[in-house]
Structure 1
Amino acid sequence: MIADPRLAGWRARADAALAQALPDPDLPPHRLRAAMRHAVLLGGKRMRPLLVYAAGSLGGADEATLDAPAAAVELVHAYSLVHDDLPCMDDDALRRGQPTVHVAFDEATAVLAGDALQSLAFQVLARAATPPAVTVAMLDTLADAAGVVGMCGGQALDVDATGQRGPALSIAHLERLHALKTGALIRAAVRMGGLCAGIDPAGLVRLDDFAAALGLAFQVRDDILDVEGDSETLGKTAGKDAAQDKATFPALIGMDASRARLDALVTEMDAALAPFGSAAGPLRALGRLAVERDR
């Protein structure tokens, strides 16, 4: 799906940075180290690392400087998927076309692997080859995105919303849920790239507007694919949202309105990137991938 040659190159960089960051599998505890590698290296869209590189390219940031934040945000994302798939959460057996970590190993190892991936992410970022002020700003950005005001808070809202219908769950509440659960890490990825590139405060605001629309669009598309897709193409269990009575856009507003919301979000992304001109080409390409993907 990656048409822009820069995106293909950045994906290769991200994969290499992740492989280098992960602990040596030949040392003990072998099972934990193998589970960490299983969670990270078996595919995935690498959307978040690509966003780091694409945002960094706006200000001509050195690609080597972007490797650390690109790897760090993907490690946090991978940890979140490991925990999201656990029986106490979404109880899923398939991820990226492979058995989930708790299925391939066991629940205790999956919990530990997720914990270890999260701590590794912050270690990688703390050792980034960036000025100290930029490193601290990135650490703060990623911590916010991963915690109670970001991804974990969104997951808690998702758990609370499961099975809800009617006035108890408004579209505004659903969008807030996904702005935290899915959107927070996407916004962090874009912002960290912008920080590495020295983008000015006004530019960072525009990037955040783009990322906010992208994060919500990514989730709306995910919800649509769960209805229309199949497990083989998706690489995860299709129809799981409906089976678990999850809060989704199609369940709340229907498929037609979900597609219309997706179109509106594309317009928002384009408007946010307009001031950057042609330099934002990779970010625009990633926005298209998010809304046109089939998995």
Structure 2
Amino acid sequence: MTNSTNDSVADTAQTNRSPAPTPTPAPLLCKRKDRFRHCLETSDAERLFLGLDFDGTLAPHVDDPTSAAMRSGNHKLLERLAAHPKFTVAVISGRELADLRSRVDVDGIRYAGNHGLEMDTNPPLESPDSVRSTIGRVCGMLERELASIDGVQIENKGITASVHYRDVETDGHEPEQLYQLIDAVVSDATTDDGKLRLTTGHDVIELRPPIDWDKGRALRQFIDEETASVIPLFIGDDTTDEDAFSVTRTAGIGIHVGTAETLADFQVSGPAAVSELLEWLCETGSECL
């Protein structure tokens, strides 16, 4: 980890793309709190830029994605952090931007939905209406193709889509088979120039437009828009959050929620531990900057 300013984040992003770092086990934050605090105290940044995933981080995972809600107390903690002069807060999620805003519902923080493809400023898509048309057509085809598989949920999020398979019986419908089936539908429905990208997460296969954009790029853009120097801290649990950890790995702090191998510097056990960290930042973290 290194201390950061906005410029250092942009510079390291350009010079550290290859070779790709290898995910490894991360130490538990609760056993390395002194190291975490030292990173904040020795930073030359004026503020902490706190980026957060939603599902599995601010909110526990649930079988029905439409019923997800933040843990009790997180709303008040985010309000306190957003109002503090030493913090900037952003929530960067795979959820549709409007859905994300309604579930977090905190003024004064930044929002990015659909893995950063929808941002509250300077969104990266040049032709979102064309993408929505393609996503809608492919979702219709997937609904017909996957209709015989019990438990599949197809979520049209406008400029991306998610195929959830948490409730699917794995016998005969393993994730690899579902991926191949979805990839075949996407190939039939789109041209090479407009072929959707497929990515994977926790019990989900994501369909995204064919542009080089992800949570890491969204985090980097938010940081570049800051007027003060910042040290970025990102907290997330999914494989899609590794793109953000690739940014914090060279210029900040990454915290992975769970036990999987990761590019993050630390790990915490679950959303309850995330809430504890947010409370620590409110009570003590500002004194470290």
Please give the range of the TM-score, normalised by the shorter of the 2 chains: under 0.3
State TM-score, norm by structure 1.
0.27
Q: Which of structures 1 and 2 has the larger relative contact order (alpha carbons within 8 angstroms, sep 6+)?
A: 2
Higher percent of residues as strand: 2
State TM-score, norm by structure 2.
0.27
Higher percent of residues as helix: 1
